[in-house]
Structure 1
Amino acid sequence: MTEQMPPTNSTFKADDSVNGETQKEFVEPVRPAYTHLDRDDIDRLSPEHREYLLARHGTLDLDPVPDMSDADPYNWPHWKKVVNLIIVAFHAMMATFTAASIQSAFENIAADLHCSLQRASYLTSLQIAILGGAPLFWKPLSDRYGRRPVFIVSLICSLVANIGCSESHSYGSMAASRAIVAFFISPAAAIGSAVVAETFFRQSRARYMGIWTVMVTIGVPISPFIFGFLAYRVDYRWIYRVLAITNAVQLIVYLFLGPETRYLRHGVRHEGSAFKQEYMQLRRIDPTPLRLRDFVQPLRYFARPCVVIPAVAYAMVFLFASVMLTVEVPQLFGPAFKFNAQQMGLQYISMIIGSLIGEQIGGFASDAWMNRRTKKIGTKPAPEWRLWLSYSGYILAIVGVIVFLVQLGEIGDNYNVTPLVGAAIASGGNQIVTTVLITYAVDCYREDAASVGVFITFVRQMWGFIGPFWFPQMFTNVGLYGSAGIITALLIVVSLIPTIILQWKGRDWRSSNTG
């Protein structure tokens, strides 16, 4: 194993941050082979380092610049990066998938546990809240000891807790077991942003960030779609058993195919083979002392407009274009059309299709948008350029929610598919906003991508947790048409307008170290 080289990448990316402090942005003229590198930075690389990177990547146009080590995730073969991302993204999906797993079975649970339909829905709301807060605990541990140990512990404990859910015969015990599952299954849904930033170069980051974000998003509708069949044809308790079996399969796959992506390039010495560092290392990776304040460190982004604005704007869209649709479909469609669990699950197909279509714009088109801009103007565009794509997401989310609620009010007792067309449109908008805004925030603070992901997840889940408690009252008091107007106003005021301000002022905020 080649000895760890001196720090080489801390100055290559002007809009990155070091130790949480934003560096002043500059734009670098495009030059053949060295698009993102300063000439002095290139000269700092040893001849061996340059030869290694050229042999591995075929270019020195790399942002950021990897170490001269096979253990550096940036130097992994492409297939290895993608396989690891799929494993982590599936793990992230299991967080929202698990929370939404019982939505098609609310009536079955209410009858079995002798509680109201509304109270049964709180078993989902409970997990939504814990999925937001628990990553604050896992993030500092994963920074010190690595992503791999945290993910392995997550799967083992989730497996056991899901078995506990299947054997719970009272509302209290099932709620407690669901809470434990949420706490342990949560890491990948927040830390996944760090895994993407730790393995993929900046120019393709949105594409792969989109894989992670779309898995988090579709976990919400795909779960009741699948488990609706199970709850109707077997028994809803098999939902928990299938979740436990899935966790067991994930654990086996991750043990053999999930390498460690946490790799420090500064201040540490890497010893042993790449295989040992990636799969066998059980020691501390980051020697920085673990302090109590590290467990709330991500919350400091409440003072960073370039993160808090995207987080709040995204949370509002997620609330109405994802949480509201998936939580309220059983309560709005079930009583109106007398659907069983299987029929209820089929209603979620529209949201799955909408999310997958939306990701084509949020991920692939987003990278193409940024790369095309680079070629056109001859400089690396500021991260704010990516925000142009978010407006299409806002428009689709607003239009989709309006169509969903208005058409639901129009059809009365005669079922037709038009509200679900609106749900598909809203889901597409939600996915565009998700990928674009999270990628933007990570681009602003790439070195602290884990904290950014945890913070955004915290804001999203806390706001998503509150929603189901007041949605029914809003529908009852102002009706479906009035609710469409309220939601439109909130999306414009809390999401659209702040994003316009961010695109206008974001660069200045980051340059003055206030963003």
Structure 2
Amino acid sequence: MDADKPTGAVHIEHAPPATSHQNRTAPGDVKLFEDDGDVILIPTPTTDPRDPLNLPSWRKIMLVANVSVFAATATLMASSFGAILPTVQQSYPGDSRTNDLVTYPALFIGLGNFIFVPIAHAVGRRPIYLFSLILLVAGCIWCAFSKSLTSHIAGRNIMSLAAGQAEALCPIMVQEVYYLHERGSKIAWFCAAQVLGTATLTVASSYLASNLGWRWWYGIFAIINGACLLMAAFAVPETRFHRLKASLINPDDASGKPGDNEPPAVTARKRPPIDYENYPSRTFSYDVALFHHRPRWQDAINCWKQMVQVILFPDILWLVFCSGMFLGIFVIFGAVFASVLLHPPYNFKPEYLGFVFSGQVVVSMVVVPAQGYLSDYVVKLLSRRNSGIARPEYRLVPLALPFVVGIISTVIFGQACQYPYEWPWSAIVVTFNAEFFGFVGIVVASFTYAMDSYPGRTDAILVVLCFARGVISFGVSYGALDFVHKVGHDGAFNICAIILGVLSAIGIAVFFFGKRIRQWTEPWATDKPKSELTAHV
């Protein structure tokens, strides 16, 4: 039996009589707990051995580990170039275009998401993931042997197209093998591993570039990504699996009443055994196969169409601006900090710049409990208080911490850069990493909120979040150095802090009116004809 073809028909109820906004449910509202406290498994797992949800825990961990290595190295190569930028600038003396080596990758990361994730929707996750690793290795080799700054910039742009898959495709693959009640912690673990790996490798990068040269810096990471590619060829299975639309929520509606003619909910303690008689077993040849079905290009076209629709959802648009602004500010931090620390009164040596990123090790340790487990805990706590009904807005509660940290860090960073003789070097280093914590926190919350709110539009929304934040961050950071020179570090970063403050205030409105937003966007968030939309989503 083809694992990519769902069996049975999707149960669609005709719209009941109109109800008030307060009583009517919305996409993303699901019953997460049975009356006895047992956790309902969402999405509902099938009895097919090839269902990614049925993978053993060790296989899931291997998958997360592999995509985390790819994400860490890809993020390092594309986004953490500031640590070795002074060394690279020595090869292109006096050429102001060296700043393009830092700013353009953010744009091409977004373009990579826009192009490749919809294609992964059509051909599968595995072939696009392996292709991205190949492209990353090729980009590293290109940059290592580049003969001019123009060629170097072009090679980094191509490499960044591949690195974009660390932004959206990797989280999609992670969430496709875990359940709703696990997503917060698992996505946080992925982000933490990515941050920890990037921070560790960035510290090493300044020494590698100073002692071996920046060309060998590219060469070493080409070798590392080549090894990751080899492991992925055997260890990363296809995670896309076509399911009944009803399985993306649960057989019970959000009022807790069983739907008509629906089987009982599948829970952690009441889960049917795997059916090896009616389904083919998961084999080694199946796992290493590049394609598992014929390309469905209409799926890619639908994904691009859905991207245009979902970016107009007020809650998604808000998250896009939040993550784009946080990333843009961090890119500006990365372009500014080195020049400040290398000059008096700090007089850092170039090989010490990598240690600035070591604070991200702390970020990786903090983000899992602060944004992962806390998110899952808040969802479970508030769901129990809401008669077992989980609402996506619960994922936004832990966002208060990233906003507070981000705003304070941005102000202090600007002051320290403007008046270095009045601030210790730690004011720059600590706030640099604290702002990064704010960005990672936004990423974790936006991913989990989007997955919970619009389960039928996860791919499109994650692409929009990653693509649009890349474009926004490029717009924020491109030409930022000239703006900093005009108004000063303190003036520029005070403006950034004010924008973050406005976005945080909008977030309060999203939390309280999120349900109505999801009700309003329901016709574009599901595949049901408008005439057949049900109040029980």
- Using the size of structure 2 for normalisation, the TM-score is 0.81
Q: Which moved more, 1:133-142 or 1:100-109?
A: 100-109
Q: Which moved more, 1:171-180 or 1:209-218?
A: 209-218
Q: Is the 8 A contact 2:310 2:461 kept in 1?
A: yes
SS of the aligned residue for 1:347 comes to helix
Match of 1:501 among 497, 509, 523: 509
The CA deviation at 1:496 is 0.5
Q: Which moved more, 1:482-491 or 1:161-170?
A: 482-491
Correspondence 1:188-227 to 2 at 5 A: 188-215=166-193, 217=195, 221-227=199-205
Structure 1: tracts of 5 or more residues without a match? 13-21, 37-60
The CA deviation at 1:449 is 1.8
SS of the aligned residue for 2:114 comes to helix
Corresponding position: 1:274 with 2:253: no
Structure 1 counterpart of 2:406, which letter?
A: A
SS of the aligned residue for 1:174 comes to helix
Alpha-carbon distance in 2 for matches of 1:392, 1:302: 25
Q: Is the 8 A contact 1:129 1:462 kept in 2?
A: yes
Which residue matches 2:44?
65
Corresponding position: 1:113 with 2:92: yes
Which residue matches 2:355?
346
SS of the aligned residue for 1:303 comes to coil
Which residue matches 1:6?
7
SS of the aligned residue for 1:69 comes to coil
Corresponding position: 1:390 with 2:399: yes
Match of 2:161 among 162, 177, 183: 183
Q: Which moved more, 1:172-181 or 1:96-105?
A: 96-105
Structure with more relative contact order (C-alpha pairs < 8 Å, separation 6 or more): 2
Q: Which moved more, 1:293-302 or 1:481-490?
A: 293-302
Structure 2 counterpart of 1:63, which letter?
A: I
Q: Is the 8 A contact 2:107 2:474 kept in 1?
A: yes
Corresponding position: 1:325 with 2:326: no
Alpha-carbon distance in 1 for matches of 2:480, 2:11: 47
Alpha-carbon distance in 2 for matches of 1:437, 1:266: 25
Q: Which moved more, 1:63-72 or 1:429-438?
A: 429-438
Corresponding position: 1:237 with 2:238: no
Q: CA RMSD in A?
A: 2.9
Alpha-carbon distance in 1 for matches of 2:320, 2:193: 18
Q: Using the aligned pairs only, state the percent identity.
A: 20
Alpha-carbon distance in 2 for matches of 1:500, 1:363: 20
Q: Is the 8 A contact 2:123 2:296 kept in 1?
A: no
Match of 2:72 among 93, 102, 109: 93
Alpha-carbon distance in 2 for matches of 1:8, 1:88: 34
The CA deviation at 1:245 is 0.5
The CA deviation at 1:73 is 0.8
Which residue matches 1:31?
34
Which residue matches 1:123?
101
Q: Is the 8 A contact 2:72 2:194 kept in 1?
A: yes
Aligned residues, how many? 477
Corresponding position: 1:478 with 2:487: yes
1:429-464: CA deviations, max 9, x gaps? 332222112211121122332222111111211122
Corresponding position: 1:399 with 2:408: yes
Which residue matches 1:77?
56
The CA deviation at 1:415 is 5.5
Alpha-carbon distance in 2 for matches of 1:381, 1:503: 14
SS of the aligned residue for 1:241 comes to helix
Structure 2: tracts of 5 or more residues without a match? 14-24, 246-277, 526-537
Alpha-carbon distance in 1 for matches of 2:28, 2:472: 32
Alpha-carbon distance in 2 for matches of 1:142, 1:158: 17
The CA deviation at 1:366 is 0.8
- CA 352–410 in structure 1, closer or farther in 2 if over 3 Å, else same: farther
Q: Is the 8 A contact 1:400 1:423 kept in 2?
A: yes
Alpha-carbon distance in 2 for matches of 1:85, 1:192: 8
Alpha-carbon distance in 2 for matches of 1:238, 1:287: 41
Structure 2 counterpart of 1:229, which letter?
A: Y
Greater helix fraction, Structure 1 or Structure 2: 1
Q: Is the 8 A contact 1:405 1:480 kept in 2?
A: yes
- CA 157–318 in structure 1, closer or farther in 2 if over 3 Å, else same: closer
Match of 2:117 among 127, 139, 157: 139
Alpha-carbon distance in 1 for matches of 2:10, 2:351: 53
SS of the aligned residue for 2:208 comes to helix
SS of the aligned residue for 1:274 comes to coil
Alpha-carbon distance in 2 for matches of 1:344, 1:234: 16
